[in-house]
Chains A and B, each alone.
Chain A
Amino acid sequence: MKAYRILAVAERVLRQVWHDKRVLAFMLVLPAVAMLLFGYSFSGDITDIRVAFIDEDNTDLTASILESLQADDAFDVTVHAPVDDPERLLLDSGYQAVIRIPDKFTSLYYAHFAMGVATSAQGTIDLTLDESDPQIASTIKMGLADALMDLGEGGPVRIDTRQLYGVEVRFIDSFAPAIMGLVVALISTVLTLLSIVREKVDGTFSRVWVSPVRRAEFILGYVVAFGLVALVQSLVVLTIGKGVFDIVINGSVAWAFACVILFAVGSVGLGTLLSALAQTESQAVVFFPLVILPSVLLSGMMWPIQAIPRVLRPLSYLVPLTYSNRLLRAVMVKGLEPWQEPVGFAGVLVFVVLTILLASIVLRQSAGERE
């Protein structure tokens, strides 16, 4: 493998992009428009938010709180034994909230009821909350308030909320990482697909295959070119996000770029893969909605995956952007390192390895079963 041949392919692809001013404009305008257009919230009925319920009081009253939480479709409640550090439990076990009812909750609750407003005695519930998805966070708060309302009699209950990952995460803050992923995936997949199909149509493909260029070098050339493009697009999204919407970025921008580029690599692989299924450019266009629609609808980009009907939810986990969203949100909103979001990180890695491997097999066949 020779670096100069990889760079030759990369330079050629970038020159082609540079020459086509429409594509160039599309590349820069798409992230800007996407970021500007989707500035507001979308919501469906959110269900199956993972909540841990720790009951240290164990009374009929606390049991009825648990019951109403369990009755709420929004939650998937797991009853958990008491722990020292609810925050750790949330981080390690992937819960989006930990509700802890302390010892003596019931007696304090009734004490307030008996003594009236004159007393400071009051039942308190600890709520540890993952705030990185604002729609989910507000659903949890509302659901818990509803459950307490169901108690009917009794005094007000104080909810001590501990919010993790940014105190006030707005929709737009968690939307920016999704836009970055979407734009990068679209451009890298679609342009790689079109470019390779065009090589087949024009015959430059066979010219490249009789040359010293190896399959891996060819793919890596595209990866380098679209990695750079992904970087520029991410900058556009972040600039507009910061400048227009004043988004909060809690994590490292460098990690975010690294993850976006990683995702771009997988998208180049996907584009290469799809190119094997199209002989002409108009056939290639057929694949665009196939890439775009599931990404927008099922990835948890516009609404949380918990808001998607249960029957469709498994499909979400087949959409690469689902993992990219988890990963980029973890890095940008929660300020985590990539591997601290194992599902998202592993998902993106699997996507990259799988598509690049399959792409190189597929390229061998497209090249005319050369070896």
Chain B
Amino acid sequence: MADRVPVFIAASLTKRFGPLRAVDDVSVTIEPGEIYGLVGPSGAGKTTLIRMLSGLTAPTGGTAWLLGSAMPAERRAVEHRFGYMPQERAVYRDLSVAENLLFFGRIYGMPRARIAGRTRELLGLMQLEDRGRQRADRLSGGEKQRLSLACALLHEPDALLLDEPTIGLDPALRREFWGHFRELNAKGRTILLSTHYLHEAEWCDRVGLMQRGRLIAEGTPDALKDEAGRRSGREGPDMEEVFLILTRTAVAGGAP
């Protein structure tokens, strides 16, 4: 990551599904080493934005760049360098925990010995040590989600696209996940994640607020709070209030 190329760039990204603008002219630049949180209610366009950046969905307008490659056209150049965690707990339910990791490791061309090493490491990190031989459909929801995160981390990607990684987790587990994110971030990984838990925005380096396909505000959590305070005249609003204030004023006064 010495070259300081932005990890993710959305340049006027738009995705229309028929008359619906799922993502509407969104521009975001995410620098190496950042944890960037896309925050907003379901249906705000977070998933579609992430899918466009991952190359899964082709934009109807604008360009998505991942580590300097236009997505999806030049995805082959960067496919080894990013990890993606879809919103569903996307693991093979009829494979064991270890077999899931084995499959994802092999399609990334990792030698079996290295997969075995990484599997031990990740199962330790995710507290799934004694679950290696367990079939994924016998795991609890939280365990499945940890396995899903492990699958995204297996090939040691520089950049992570995590779509609602903490959805459905209890608060303790959610904190644990954020511990992993911080740790990965400390090792130099760039993370773009989405969440509809507004208070999680506090833990991001920068936050983009999305509503109805548009990016209505962007900045550090503190900057957003200041902005919301200025617009509403209230002292020290929490993230939930920030979101309410900024969405209301965005509708009234147009997007910033």
Contact = CB atoms under 8 A, between A and B. Distances in A.
Interface in B52-105: 54-58, 72-73, 75-76, 79-80, 82, 84, 86-96, 99, 103-104
A279 B137 CA distance: 20
Nearest to B91: A204
- Residue among A11, A204, A367 with most chain B CB within 10 A: A204
A369 B80 CA distance: 20
23 contacts: A5-B106, A5-B109, A7-B106, A8-B106, A8-B107, A9-B107, A11-B103, A12-B99, A15-B99, A19-B94, A19-B96, A202-B88, A203-B89, A203-B90, A206-B84, A206-B86, A209-B56, A210-B75, A212-B79, A368-B58, A370-B55, A370-B57, A370-B72
Interface of A: 2, 4-5, 7-9, 11-12, 15-16, 19-20, 198, 201-204, 206-213, 367-371
Given A8-B106, A211-B104, A370 B92 contact: no
Given A12-B103, A210-B56, A202 B72 contact: no
B174 interface: no
A107 to B, nearest CB: 77
Contacts, number: 91
Nearest to A371: B72
Contacts of B87: 203
B108 to A, nearest CB: 6
Nearest to B111: A4
Contacts of A2: 109
Nearest to B54: A210
Contacts of A11: 103, 106
- Residue among B87, B90, B104, B107 with most chain A CB within 10 A: B107
Nearest to B152: A207
A47 to B, nearest CB: 48
A8 B106 CA distance: 6
Interface residues of B, number: 34
B182 interface: no
A207 B90 contact: yes
Nearest to B84: A210
- Residue among B95, B103, B104, B108 with most chain A CB within 10 A: B103
Contact of B109 (A9, A16, A212, A368): A212
A4 B102 CA distance: 13
B189 interface: no
B135 to A, nearest CB: 7
Contacts of A369: 57-58
B56 A367 contact: yes
A12 B92 contact: yes
B82 A210 contact: yes
Contacts of A20: 94
A206 B152 CA distance: 12
B151 interface: yes
B109 A19 contact: no
Interface string B207-241: 00000000000000000000000000000000000
B206 interface: no
